[in-house]
A and B are shown apart, each in its own frame.
Chain A
Amino acid sequence: MRELYLELLFNYAKANKNVVIITGDLGFGALDNFFKELPDQIFNLGIAEQSIVSIAAGLASEGKNVFIYSIANFISLRVLEQIRNDLCYHRLPVKILAIGTGYSYGQLGFSHHATEDISVIRSIPNIMILNPSDQQEVRLSFKLSIETKIPVYIRLDKTTQEIHQKSLEKSFFPLKVIGNGDIIVLASGRIVKDVFDTLVQLDNITNRITLYSCPVIKPIRIDLTFLNSIPTISKLITVEEHNLSGGFGSMIIEKLNESKFDINLNKVIRIGINDVMVEEVGDRDYLIGNNKIISSLISELT
């Protein structure tokens, strides 16, 4: 997904000379063509994330169309105040490409896990958060990110994932992925593919569930009115590769509350990281297993 976004960005930058890409000494191998072919548009500003976000604000205030490339947790938690004060308060449409979502960098350790970024960033006004789960959602996210007039935090995983069959033009969310049942499963980001693969493997499950993907966390309203057309919702399950505290599932509960849906909140089950820290080494699958993310989903469905 990262590669696709960068490919789209490369072509866009080639055609739009006011595009400036800045990196904090990251992107080994991923940004080579930018350095080679667009040397006047890409700047390695060194390992200085906090300054980089403020510098991005300065560049954007001069009319540059700025994209910051970094690792998700560095360019969210470490620079939170710079995002809040310098980008959001000034409404500067800087695009933050946050690479390696959730447990993607598994064995690299706790410092590299992006498992709280959605919670903290979504508490700031004037920002768009995108969390695509497959190549089509990346295409849509790219379009949304270059069209908006506010800062964008876009989570881009390194994997290539295919879920949606057709290109996506919809501008309301969530997006239906599979199924026609009365168990509603809502997920966001890379984990959508894991959920999708799990559901496909379960017998006759698609008659009982409907899976939706939410590539946009904010500010576009998540429209849950479709729930009204389902006669009885037996369960509503949210799945995220992120801390449950303030994350995607929390957001869905807030939306349900705002929309005054007649749904018993006991029927809403949030699956994710249950406010615990990783204390051992493991690859992504191992850590997801440790947190019982997919196994909890299966037990809710069977």
Chain B
Amino acid sequence: MNNQTNKISRQIRLESIRLTTENNASHIGSIFSISDLLAVLFFGKIEQIGKTIINEKCDNFILSKGHAGLGLYITLNLKGILLDEELKSYYKNGSKLSGHVSHLGVSGVRFSTGSLGHGLPYAVGVALAKKISAQNDPVVVLVGDGELNEGTTWESALIARQFSLSNLLLVVDYNRMQSLGFTDDTLSLEPIEDKWVSFGWNVIRIDGHNHVEILTSLTEFNNSNFKTNRPTVIIADTIKGKGVSFMENNIDYHYKPLRSEEELNQAILELSK
């Protein structure tokens, strides 16, 4: 399994750096930050249930940090849901694949985001609907850490607990950087685990680049869904720009694409190792 998901996350990074550079598109650092999470969420089989946490149609996943949309498009392409030609059209005039993730005419994308703080409450609605219909299917939403600045995050944290949405999994991409700098210098989220514990959630802390840890946390969520009445948050410690030495923890790559052919070659070289 690990071999497969490692290959997937490498493909997500390689394809995204090619497409962002080619199209002068932004947010490559944010995509690298979640590449491992996407790989395991969509391709890591949970032994107990013999399948991935994200279902075959990929319609139980919501990417709330819409600026990393390309990461999802590539994942869906690797899943065989989004065609090669569609992926190639990314960012181009007349395409359906905008920088911030959009669902219109795009198979596998359930919900469009880009303005932060929308994905979690939407996922709460989906999870609540499933509970009302006496289903326990998991609903997974991936948010950025900067997004935790939004009030709707904490409104939804209260609501999800109040309505016992054990089928809701929130994954926080905790790379500790947001648009203009470090989260600790902007609006510190610490102590981040205590915050979620105090809201009554199951809290799991992992290294968001370690595929074994990611898969174990998903298994833990799956168990918790059937045994408790609490929603689950996985706080994934990640690195913005993970995988390319000069991009890691470098705020420039939140907005800027690579600057030159040399940079691209260097990045591809490092990622191909």
Contact = CB atoms under 8 A, between A and B. Distances in A.
A116 B152 CA distance: 24
A55 B121 contact: yes
Given A43-B163, A62-B130, A64-B132, A85 B125 contact: no
Interface residues of A, number: 27
18 contacts: A40-B132, A45-B159, A46-B158, A50-B151, A50-B152, A54-B118, A57-B122, A58-B121, A58-B122, A58-B124, A60-B125, A61-B122, A62-B125, A62-B129, A63-B129, A85-B114, A86-B118, A90-B103
Q: Which of A45, A46, A81, A82 has the largest count of B CB atoms less than 10 A from its CB?
A: A45
B158 to A, nearest CB: 7
Contacts of B113: 85
A218 to B, nearest CB: 21
B125 A59 contact: yes
Interface in A55-82: 55-64, 81-82
A51 B133 contact: no
Contact of A54 (B121, B133, B162): B121
Contacts of A82: 118
B126 interface: yes
Contacts of A58: 121-129
Contacts of A56: 125
A10 interface: no
A24 B206 CA distance: 35
Interface string A21-49: 00000000000000000001001011010
A89 interface: yes
Interface string B16-53: 00000000000000000000000000000000000000
B110 interface: yes
B155 interface: yes
Contact of B159 (A20, A51, A64): A51
Contact of A62 (B103, B114, B133, B162): B133
Contact of A85 (B115, B151, B159): B115
Contacts of B163: 43
Contacts of B159: 45-46, 48, 51, 55
Nearest to B119: A54
B155 A50 contact: yes
Interface in A143-196: none
Contact of A55 (B112, B128, B151): B128
B124 A51 contact: yes
Contacts of B118: 54, 82, 85-86
Interface string B93-115: 00000000001100000111111
A157 B111 CA distance: 33
B164 interface: no
